[in-house]
Amino acid sequence: MKLNYYPETDSLYIDLSLKAGSESREISEGVVLDYDAEGNLVGIDIDNAGKKLNLEQLVLSKFPAKVQTLTA
């Protein structure tokens, strides 16, 4: 899983899978779910993320994987 924030557009994309999306559905204003060809959720796109989410802190509790931080 990968969280990608784009400050120039204030959008957050959450990659849930390495598979490519083939269908998108907007579930609320500015929130789009991407699905692969088999109907599995592969990504979440959130426009105006700074207004919809608290982006100042990310807390991972008992996360079972290596956490990697990248800075632009």
pLDDT digits (tens, 9 = 90+) for 41-66: 999 999 999 999 999 888 888 888 88
| Domain boundaries defined on the chain | 2-51
pTM for the model stands at 0.84
Cα(48)–Cα(29) distance, integer angstroms: 10
Tell me, what's the pLDDT at 72? Answer: 60
Tell me, what's the pLDDT at 11? Answer: 97
Ramachandran area for residue 59 (φ above 0: left; ψ -120 to 50: alpha; else beta): beta
- For residue 67, the Cα-to-chain-centroid distance in whole angstroms is 16
pLDDT digits (tens, 9 = 90+) for 21-40: 999 999 999 999 999 999 99
Tell me, what's the pLDDT at 37? Answer: 94
Q: Is 8 exposed, middle or buried (0-12, 13-18, 19+ CB in 10 A)?
A: exposed
Tell me, what's the pLDDT at 45? Answer: 97
